[in-house]
Structure 1
Amino acid sequence: MRRLAIPLICSALAASCLTSAVQAADYGLDEGYAVLIISRERLQVSTQCEIGLYLQDELTARLDQGQSASFNLPPGVVTVRLATVGNKTCQPGINQLDGQQLTLSAGVISRYRISQTNAGYKLIPAPPIN
């Protein structure tokens, strides 16, 4: 009896794993998520302060030099705002109020770099990885 129970349990577990794999494969790209990757290159921004990354006006990441953050987001338009964050010396006098609007598509990886302009920090498209 014991010899029959173990193969039966193993078969049931294997069947449940196959069912999950089939359901995952049936999930189409147009119903999935978009990937947003934002990086702070070492030479693009000349401040030692962390840069706060705000998605939909909510602080979601703090990037130091050479760091990046990635997000799985639903497809559509997302507002991204960048500002320095940290202790007293890193607090900006006036926060950058304007954000950038990015349109994300399901199944697509969107890569951006942080750049510094006269108007503040801005995202620029990063070259694709081959």
Structure 2
Amino acid sequence: MKWLAGVFAVLLCSTSALAQVAQGGTGQPGILMITRNDAYPGSGCDIGLVIQGRLAGTLMAGQSASFNLPPGEIAVSLTSSGPGACAAPMASAVSQSILLAPGEIKQYRIIGTEAGYRLAPIPLY
């Protein structure tokens, strides 16, 4: 139940953040889905999702979020979030570029590598 409340809170925050993030573009929005597994080390820190330079949401281990975004090139980066050691910047905060077509749905997973966290595409269910 606590997990469900956390997912709802992330989606609620994501929706309000998207009103600010989704600027420009024409046509039907694309959907960007991001999932965070809980099976890798260091999953105790929350991971912030920065879309087009703005914090669009925060994922805890095992959570997912979806974003309606304008079609076109979308810049996405990940940041560490939380108190203590989690407040330190991530090893790699490199922005990744994702191209969304009108009405397209893309799904990504946050993965941990030696260089830090990044997004990896996964097939839709």
Which TM bucket (shorter chain)? Answer: 0.7 to 0.9
Q: Contact 1:81–1:96 at 8 Å: present in 2 too?
A: no
- What are the superposed Cα offsets for residues 42-96 of structure 1, whole Å, 9 maximum, x if unpaired? 2145320100100012111110011111110000001101021111221125563
Matched, 1:88 2:96: no
Distance 2:45 2:93 in 1: 18
Cα–Cα, structure 1 residues 45 and 83, in superposed 2: closer, same or farther, change >3 Å? farther
Matched, 1:38 2:52: no
TM-score, normalization: structure 1? 0.70
- My pick for the range that moved more, 50-59 or 85-94, is 85-94
Indicate which of 53, 60, 82 corresponds to 1:57: 53
State the SS of the aligned residue for 1:47: coil
Q: Percent identity?
A: 39
Alignment-mate amino acid for residue 115 of structure 2: A
Q: Contact 1:83–1:92 at 8 Å: present in 2 too?
A: no
Decide which structure has the larger Cα Rg and report it: 1
Distance 1:126 1:69 in 2: 14
Alignment-mate amino acid for residue 127 of structure 1: P
Q: Contact 1:40–1:63 at 8 Å: present in 2 too?
A: yes
Alignment-mate amino acid for residue 43 of structure 1: A
Distance 1:128 1:47 in 2: 24
Deviation at 1:122, TM superposition (A): 0.6
Q: Which one has a larger percent helix, Structure 1 or Structure 2?
A: 1
Distance 1:128 1:44 in 2: 22
TM-score, normalization: structure 2? 0.73
Deviation at 1:98, TM superposition (A): 1.6
Aligned residue for 2:123? 127
Count of residue pairs the alignment pairs up: 100
Aligned residue for 1:116? 112
CA RMSD of aligned residues (A): 1.8
Distance 1:94 1:38 in 2: 18
